[in-house]
Structure 1
Amino acid sequence: MILQLKNVSLLFSAQLVSYLIPILEIPILARALGVEGYGHILLIQTTALLCSLLVEYGFSLSGARQVALCAENKTQLSKIYNDVVSGRIILALGVVSITLSVLFFVKVNADALAILWGYFYFLAFGFGNLWLFQGLEKITYPVVIEVCLRFVGLLVLFLFVSKPSDAAIALMIMSCFALLSTVISFYLAYKVVGSFSFELKGGMQQIKEGFHSFLYKSSNNIMLSAGPALVGVLCGQAAVAKFAPAEKIIKASVGLVGPVLIGLYPYLSRRLLKSTTLNLKLSGLIVAASFVVGAVGAGMIFFLARYLMDLMLGPGFEEAIVILQIFVFIIPFRMMNQAMGLAVFMPLGRDRILSSLLVFFSFFSLLLAAILSYWFELKGVVYGLVLSEVIFSAFLVLFALNIKAEEA
């Protein structure tokens, strides 16, 4: 259990930095680039991250689970790694082909250099190898390296981005440091599993078997990550610059529970094989604690909203204060939903139920946000995202209670 606590602490630190850095980027980029320039950068970032979800494919869950069950068998470990990376290559080729076709036929308001850096950003986040070390429960070096590189990247951003014309430079800096972190993670993986070989059959099999984990992980992210893209389509680039800072604060707050859940995930999966009843009791405590922590955090952010937005953005972003005060209501429900997914449904092998609900509510949240934006504009998008999360929570609780009744 000491090892699990150590991994949870490291993952928590990495996750904290992964959300802290984008928040610290806000005053640098927003003040230097202005509303339009900052919104333009955010649209490219968001599109790249959404594409990376298709390549990441939830392997951080399905791959980590496979690694955790055969960590001592290097031959099997190498096969799993080769198959997972091969699956990602297959998916990446598909994503690149589709996006290039779209760029060829659709007029996009972005220059070629910005699009190129967007592709690098997509590849960096789509091919990370932290999942391997999570499964092995040996994450110290990957986490320390990633944290250091992200802070160095932030410093370089601060030094070289100072005016609206620096938008392409900002994208280049963020993409290069993200890509460097991924390249180093491949080297660390090579030290563990040896040389890589592309396995078409194994890659396709991983894609097939990891489908429900993909639905869970991607849908889990789409409900928040697609927000800026949706706002850009419905309300314009200037609205993205007002929505995104609030969205980054919400993601950072919600994301703090992720490292705890992911760090405990291999442990809960193994314990399930020994005692389902004990696992469900522990899972219930984790879910309840996640909701309480989320409610306390939401209250604090609500009262600090004006101070946070003024500190990060300055004049011209006043609507972001109201957006943040509405958005905070999603935090306790989002944290509870993550806890139910990683502490109840996934360890119990109920991937199909969870993924089906997530897919439905991901699209439902975007649809509801689009409908409400007709009457309430930018606020309507946030109303839709919050309301759909609350309804999703109710459905998860009902299904969890049904599972508990079955196991009793």
Structure 2
Amino acid sequence: MGLLFLAQLCGYLIPILEIPVLARALGVQEYGKVVLIQSVALLTSLLVEYGFSLSGSRQIAIARDERGALARIFGEVLSAKLMIFFVVSMVGVIVFLVQGSVFYDRELVFMGFLYFLAFGFSPFWFFQGLEKITVVVVVEVTLRFVGLLLLYVFIQGEQDAALALGIMAGFGLLNTSVGNAMCVNRVGKFCLSFAGGIEQIKLGFHVFIYKSSNNILMSAGPSLVGVTSGHVAVASYVPAEKIIRGFVGFVNPILIGFYPYLNRQFQLSKSNTMRLSWMIVIGMFFAGLMAAGLIFFVGDFLILKVLGTGFVVASDILKIFVLIIPFRLANQALGLCMLIPMGRDKATSFLMMFSSMMSMLLAALLSIWYGVGGVVMGFVIAEICLFFALVAVVFEGKNKYWKREGV
């Protein structure tokens, strides 16, 4: 968990440090091109990554002492990634041929393609399932800081835009190559399989929907506020939203750290694992309550001191938004520590997707009467409803377990 915290911290810190280095050297226009291509590459890499960070690591966690099974799972997941990569690449080529060359030179697009490869084929899921991520995290953090240093040294002007993206893509690709080489060393000989890849895509589909729904819910808030309440309201909403998102994001390593262990333990002792999972869920809920109370009382001070008196409204928004923290943490714990390890992927993904749509509709409706505060209230109400729905699915799944065991 400590290593996951380190990886996540660097994932936040290094992109922030890259901003002044690149923005000052490249200028507004070239920096804008680099950032846009970088963001598109990251977004498309999420499609290739699919739901394997959860579905793949779950399989690895269960079969981690069986080398033959590890080789089969690794080969099938790699096959699935290659299939998705082919489809995404074909769409990208068509888009580039139709429009892309008008706006960007081929060298920048090629570097963006390498960036896409680097993150799409990351084998972190494999080591996460093994619960052995020490070397992987050390290599990743080291390479990212070396890449940052090279950006500082070599990027001097707007003519270096392709070089900047090439440095970031190159070190990402090196990190992915080293990780995959370590996987091959661990599993030995493996085979690519079209049928196995299709099966992995089927297995990961509901987890992919689960992750995608959560990402949409986290990312769509500013756009919705802008549409319903205007760009001035967005300036009040975003600071509060970032505080909430930052806190919730830094709790994820705890849940991801428990995830492989709980998947394995569910195969051995369901009743004991359920007790442990409930302890995690309850612990997350009460930790969220304490965090919400703390942010509620110090939020005024933070926003006024950091942003100034012009953002007083953001403080009022934050006091409503904090209500989401305990339920968001509990819902993430229910999904990662109970429902997905129990095999309730389908029900969980459906509820997440339904909750995302309901939150958008409710937020848009409440914004008519309460403005940006109504948007936040809509998100909070939807999160509370999702909590009770997920708890109901847990008890339904628990009853099915006991029936299957003949209890």
Specify the TM-score bucket, using the shorter chain as the normaliser. Answer: 0.7 to 0.9
Greater shift, 357-366 or 47-56, is seen at: 357-366
Greater shift, 71-80 or 266-275, is seen at: 266-275
Offset from partner CA, 1:72-128 (integer Å, 9 cap, x none)? 222221111011011011011112222333455567995345544443333222211
Quote the Cα distance in structure 2 between the aligned partners of 1:323 and 1:38.
33
The letter of the residue matching 1:96 is S
Greater shift, 329-338 or 21-30, is seen at: 21-30
Query: Is contact 1:60-1:130 (8 Å) kept?
Result: yes
CA spacing shift, 1:266–1:385, aligned 2, 3 Å: same
Offset from partner CA, 1:209-235 (integer Å, 9 cap, x none)? 222222223333333256678889999
Query: Is contact 1:46-1:226 (8 Å) kept?
Result: no
Q: 1:262 aligns with which of 246, 256, 265?
A: 256
Greater shift, 154-163 or 347-356, is seen at: 154-163
Q: 2:206 aligns with which of 203, 212, 234?
A: 212
The letter of the residue matching 2:250 is L
- Number of aligned residues: 400
Quote the Cα distance in structure 2 between the aligned partners of 1:44 and 1:201.
33
Write out aligned runs for 1:358-377 (5 A).
Answer: 358-365=352-359
Consecutive unaligned residues in structure 1, runs of 5 or more: 1-7
SS of equivalent residue, structure 2 residue 88: helix
CA spacing shift, 1:235–1:117, aligned 2, 3 Å: farther
1:83 aligned onto 2:79? no
Q: 1:19 aligns with which of 8, 12, 21?
A: 12
Query: Is contact 1:43-1:229 (8 Å) kept?
Result: no
Greater shift, 194-203 or 57-66, is seen at: 194-203
The residue number in structure 1 matching 2:124 is 130
Q: 1:49 aligns with which of 27, 42, 66?
A: 42
The letter of the residue matching 2:169 is S
Quote the Cα distance in structure 2 between the aligned partners of 1:309 and 1:25.
27
Quote the Cα distance in structure 1 between the aligned partners of 2:236 and 2:163.
22
The residue number in structure 1 matching 2:405 is none
Consecutive unaligned residues in structure 2, runs of 5 or more: 403-407
The residue number in structure 1 matching 2:144 is 150
Aligned-pair RMSD on alpha carbons? Answer: 4.6
Query: Is contact 1:232-1:239 (8 Å) kept?
Result: yes
Greater shift, 250-259 or 158-167, is seen at: 158-167
Quote the Cα distance in structure 2 between the aligned partners of 1:327 and 1:176.
40
Query: Is contact 1:83-1:203 (8 Å) kept?
Result: yes
Deviation for aligned residue 1:270: 2.6
Query: Is contact 1:46-1:228 (8 Å) kept?
Result: no
SS of equivalent residue, structure 1 residue 122: helix
Write out aligned runs for 1:110-125 (5 A).
Answer: 111-112=104-105, 114-125=108-119
SS of equivalent residue, structure 1 residue 198: coil
Quote the Cα distance in structure 1 between the aligned partners of 2:122 and 2:221.
23
Quote the Cα distance in structure 2 between the aligned partners of 1:114 and 1:370.
39
Query: Is contact 1:41-1:167 (8 Å) kept?
Result: yes
1:283 aligned onto 2:277? yes
1:69 aligned onto 2:62? yes
The letter of the residue matching 2:67 is K
Query: Is contact 2:119-2:176 (8 Å) kept?
Result: yes
Deviation for aligned residue 1:337: 1.5
Write out aligned runs for 1:9-408 (5 A).
Answer: 9-25=2-18, 44-105=37-98, 111-112=104-105, 114-157=108-151, 171-194=165-188, 197-225=191-219, 250-298=244-292, 303=298, 330-365=324-359, 388-403=382-397
The letter of the residue matching 1:261 is L
Instruction: State the percentage of identical aligned residues.
Output: 49
Greater shift, 332-341 or 372-381, is seen at: 372-381
Deviation for aligned residue 1:339: 0.6
Query: Is contact 1:20-1:252 (8 Å) kept?
Result: no
Query: Is contact 1:42-1:228 (8 Å) kept?
Result: no
Q: Using CA pairs below 8 Å that are at least 6 residues apart, which structure has the higher relative contact order? A: 1
The residue number in structure 2 matching 1:5 is none
Query: Is contact 2:303-2:311 (8 Å) kept?
Result: no
Offset from partner CA, 1:289-331 (integer Å, 9 cap, x none)? 22333344455566468858987x99x9999888877765544
